[in-house]
Each structure stands twice: as structure tokens, then as C-alpha cells.
């Protein structure tokens, strides 16, 4: 038991950046004159991790926590939420953050070699959960979509695990099929079938937004893994045509496109364009510096899902153009840093680790881009949350686990660069 507690203690120390206790291998350092002292760091055992990445992630999470409370504080005034307290969503979001932090801490302890071995099993688990969510009395439906499995204390969304599962599987697959350039169709076809199966299960929920994110993650891993440009753009064209057909064959999806093109028309303003029009009103009302924290009017039952999909609109109203720019800047830095850690791992011939880290960067970057585009009226309405900030236990959980895995990649990179061994 003491050994387990000691291991967890060292894990907390690595994650929080605290210096290790001096050991017999500590290095002597001259302080003054002929006096020597020992450094508190072992030369190989502990080399730290990217603390800037941790602080930016924490900043986004804490800002998101404040905004979730601001966006949901008036919801009990709505008869639909009359039994809720003003802190209902805040308390649940705090609980989700705590669970996600514990899960991220545990994920950080897992070596990348282990993640590579279990990658196919995580993918299979995500497929099983995507099937279970479609079964009556197991899957929970909301607003005509069956996307959640109730776990009592929280509702789990299998599509979030599917993003992580596909990411692990794709990175593992590309490492095993490095001859992809020579035998493209033979090598890539199995992964294409796997992603197609996930897509069919997601469309049955329906959750086209999650399918788009997963398709982009898979495409990104293919490109970074060595697929030649001609074949890559051919697959991209096939995906674009496929998504176009999905929209053309679905009346309510077509209505969303038409509402996006003209949200202010009489037909769409109170229909499919309602959320978009009120999101634009909120951001326009914020002007340059915003109306101040808590001063949003659109969150007072005008803008639906203000604490989830349209959190950026509330940020725009309360913090203005400056606040939106800060959010965009933080996500740009976060995405760039995740990609850099992955590129560093690939340069050290750690292909799986590098593809995994860059896949997380694609995931966070693309999903935040879609959410921001929807809130700003640049893209059609799509049910995707803002990573790390929006209300949603499953999304927060998987986002933090994914970032913890990238931190592990960075930790192992530093260890190897200083002559350590994994």
C-alpha cells in the first residue's frame, strides 16, 4: 500500500511541477567560495513537462467554469428548469471537472507503450458503447437524439470516447502500416471501414458533428502518417461529397443550411435560425469590451443552450470583441503547442506518440474552430461544444484525458533528451 501511495505521490509531483526530493544522484553545485550544495533534481529520473500547456488548459477551464455559471444562473426562472437551483449546473460542472482531473492524472501515469498496446481495445470499447446507446432503456434521448448513457451521477456520451478511440486506433494503425505510400488502398481500406462503421453508428443517434470531428482526426493522422497528397485529396473529396449527400437527403439538415444563409428571414428567425440570430445579437451587443460579467441579456431565455454550444456568444456579449479574441488566441496557442509536442516526438522517431499528440491538436483545434464559427455565424449551426469550456461532463473528461496523454508524450520526450530510459 505504501508503495502505491509513494507512486501516486510522485505522479502528483510531476503533474504539479514540484521539485523531486534530493537523492544520492543529486548534482553538486557551487554556491559561494568553496562551499558546495546539492541540487534538488535528479539528472535523469524526473525532467518535468510543459507547464505552460498546463496553465493555458487551467485558464480555459476556470474561465469556462465562470461562464457556465453566468450563462446558467437564470435558467431556474424557466418553467422547464423550475426545480433546479441557480447553482445546479455550476455544481455539476465542478463535479465533472474534479472527475476529469482525477482521470487525467491517472492517464498521465500510463506510458505511451501501454497506450499503443491497448489502442485497438479502446476503439472496440467505443464501438460497443455506440451500439449500447442506441438500445432503448439504455441510451437516453434528448430533443430527438439518443446520445447519452445514464451513469447516475452523470450522463456519459460515447461519441466523446469514440473521438479518443479513433485517434488511438488511427495512430496505432499508421505505425503498423508504414508502407501506406506503396500500397495505399490495401493498407488504408481497413481503417476507412472502421471509421465508416463509427460514422454509421453516430448518424443513427444522430450526431453528424461528432462524425465530422472523427473524420477530420482520421484524415489528419493519414496525412501526417505519410499518405501522398494526391490520395489524401481524393479521400477528402469523397468525404466532402458524402457529407454533402447527407445534408441533401435530410430535410432538417437542409433547413439548417438555408437558415444559416438567411437567419433573419421571417421563416427562419423563429425556426432553424433562432439560435444563430440570437447568438449574433449577443455578440453584436457586446461591442468591443462587452457589457460586463453577468450582464448578458441573451442568456435570459433568449439564447437556447447558452451554457453548452453557445457559450462563446455569452463570452462575446459580456467580454466583447476583446474577450472573443483572447479565447481564440488561447485555443490557437494550445493547438500549436500540441502539434509542436507531436512533431518533437516524431523527430525522435517516436511515431505513435507523435501522431497521437498531433491528433489531439487536430481534435481540439478543429472542434473549437467549428464551435467558434457557428457562434460567429461563419458556419451552419452544429451541435459541438467548445472544448474545455462548455458545460458537459463527457466532453470535459475526454478533453482532459487527451491533454494528459500529450503531457505524458512531452514528459517522455524530455526524459529521452536527457539520456533517460522509458
More confident residue, 6 or 24: 6
Q: What is the DSSP string of 115-135?
A: HHHHHHHHHHHHHHHHHHTTS
Q: pLDDT-based confidence at 143, cuts 50/70/90?
A: low
pTM confidence score: 0.85
| C-alpha separations of 396 from 28, 90, 102, 308, 410 in Å | 43, 14, 12, 12, 21
Helix, strand, or coil (residue 142): strand
Q: What is the DSSP string of 352-408?
A: HHHHHHHHHHHHHHHHHHHHHHHHTTSS-------TTTSS-HHHHHHHHHHHHHHHH
pLDDT tens digit sequence for 84-128: 888 889 999 999 999 999 999 999 999 999 999 999 999 999 999
Task: Compute the distance between CA of residue 114 and CA of residue 134 in angstroms, rounded to an integer.
Answer: 31
Which helix H or strand E contains 32, and what residues bound it? strand 28-32
Q: pLDDT-based confidence at 231, cuts 50/70/90?
A: confident
pLDDT tens digit sequence for 387-407: 999 998 889 999 999 999 999
pLDDT tens digit sequence for 154-170: 788 899 999 999 999 99
Q: Per-domain residue ranges for the chain?
A: 1-45, 47-417
Q: pLDDT-based confidence at 15, cuts 50/70/90?
A: very low
* pLDDT higher than 50, residue 24: no
Length of the chain: 422
Angle at 259 between CA 255 and CA 262, to 5 degrees: 140
Which pLDDT value is given to residue 47? 52
pLDDT tens digit sequence for 348-397: 999 999 999 999 999 999 999 999 999 998 888 887 899 999 998 889 99
Amino acid at each position: 500500500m505504501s508503495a502505491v501511495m509513494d507512486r501516486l505521490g510522485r505522479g502528483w509531483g510531476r503533474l504539479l511541477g514540484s521539485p523531486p526530493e534530493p537523492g544520492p544522484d543529486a548534482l553538486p553545485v557551487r554556491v559561494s567560495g568553496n562551499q558546495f550544495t546539492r541540487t534538488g533534481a535528479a539528472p535523469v529520473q524526473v525532467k518535468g513537462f510543459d507547464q505552460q500547456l498546463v496553465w493555458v488548459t487551467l485558464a480555459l477551464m476556470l474561465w469556462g467554469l465562470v461562464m457556465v455559471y453566468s450563462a446558467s444562473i437564470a435558467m431556474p426562472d424557466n418553467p422547464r428548469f423550475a426545480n433546479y437551483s441557480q447553482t445546479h449546473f455550476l455544481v455539476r460542472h465542478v463535479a465533472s471537472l474534479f472527475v476529469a482531473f482525477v482521470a487525467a492524472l491517472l492517464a498521465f501515469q500510463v506510458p505511451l507503450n501501454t497506450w499503443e498496446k491497448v489502442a485497438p481495445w479502446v476503439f472496440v470499447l467505443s464501438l460497443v458503447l455506440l451500439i449500447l446507446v442506441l438500445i432503448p432503456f439504455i441510451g437516453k434521448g434528448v430533443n430527438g437524439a439518443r446520445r447519452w448513457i445514464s451513469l447516475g451521477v452523470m450522463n456519459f456520451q460515447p461519441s466523446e470516447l469514440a473521438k479518443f478511440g479513433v485517434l488511438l486506433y488511427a495512430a496505432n494503425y499508421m505505425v503498423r502500416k508504414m508502407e501506406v505510400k506503396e500500397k495505399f488502398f490495401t493498407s488504408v481500406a481497413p481503417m476507412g471501414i472502421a471509421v465508416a462503421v463509427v460514422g454509421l453508428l453516430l448518424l443513427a443517434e444522430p450526431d453528424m458533428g461528432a462524425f465530422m470531428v472523427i473524420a477530420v482526426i482520421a484524415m489528419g493522422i493519414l496525412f501526417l502518417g505519410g499518405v501522398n497528397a494526391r490520395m489524401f485529396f481524393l479521400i477528402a473529396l469523397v468525404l466532402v461529397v458524402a457529407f454533402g449527400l447527407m445534408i441533401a437527403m435530410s430535410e432538417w439538415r437542409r433547413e439548417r443550411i438555408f437558415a444559416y444563409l438567411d437567419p433573419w428571414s421571417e421563416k427562419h428567425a423563429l425556426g432553424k435560425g433562432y439560435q444563430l440570430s440570437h447568438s449574433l445579437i449577443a455578440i453584436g451587443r457586446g461591442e468591443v469590451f462587452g457589457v460586463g460579467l453577468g450582464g448578458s441579456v441573451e442568456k435570459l431565455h433568449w439564447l437556447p443552450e447558452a451554457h453548452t454550444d453557445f457559450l462563446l456568444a455569452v463570452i462575446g456579449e459580456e467580454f466583447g470583441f476583446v474577450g472573443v479574441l483572447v479565447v481564440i488566441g488561447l485555443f490557437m496557442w494550445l493547438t500549436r503547442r500540441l502539434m509542436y509536442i507531436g512533431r518533437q516526438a516524431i523527430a525522435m522517431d517516436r511515431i505513435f506518440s507523435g501522431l497521437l499528440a498531433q491528433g489531439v491538436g487536430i481534435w481540439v483545434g478543429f472542434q473549437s474552430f467549428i464551435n467558434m464559427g457557428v457562434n460567429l455565424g461563419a458556419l451552419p449551426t452544429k451541435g459541438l461544444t467548445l472544448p474545455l469550456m462548455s458545460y458537459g461532463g463527457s466532453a470535459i473528461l475526454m478533453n482532459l484525458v487527451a491533454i494528459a496523454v500529450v503531457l505524458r508524450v512531452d514528459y517522455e520526450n524530455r526524459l529521452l533528451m536527457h539520456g533517460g530510459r522509458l
